[in-house]
Amino acid sequence: MAFRNGYGEHQVLPDLAEFCRANEPAPHENELFVQGRAAGRRDVWLHIAEILGLTANELAAAYRGRAFPVQQEEPNG
């Protein structure tokens, strides 16, 4: 729920997407530390996206700081 509200969509997800370099290719540096750090950041972003069930368009919108439709939770029971 932290990500599926106005603040999460407009502030938190875009910030995480930028920090995790969600739409950038992996670095081509020879340093394993740099590659590992980039892979770890990307894994975090992909995990959040998977949990939220975001589509590719929603991921791109989050990266650009734009809102995307909030999915309604289904009632239990």
3 is written with which tokens? 């990500």
Question: Is residue 23 a contact partner of residue 63, using CB atoms and an 8 Å limit?
Answer: yes
Residue 54's CB: how many other CB atoms inside 10 A? 18
pLDDT at 53: 78
Q: Can you list the residues of the chain whose pLDDT is less than 50?
A: 70, 72-73, 77
pLDDT at 72: 46
Rounded to two decimals, the pTM is: 0.56
Cβ contacts of 17-24, under 8 Å, gap ≥ 24: 17/45, 17/59, 17/62, 17/63, 18/63, 20/44, 20/45, 22/59, 22/62, 22/63, 23/60, 23/63
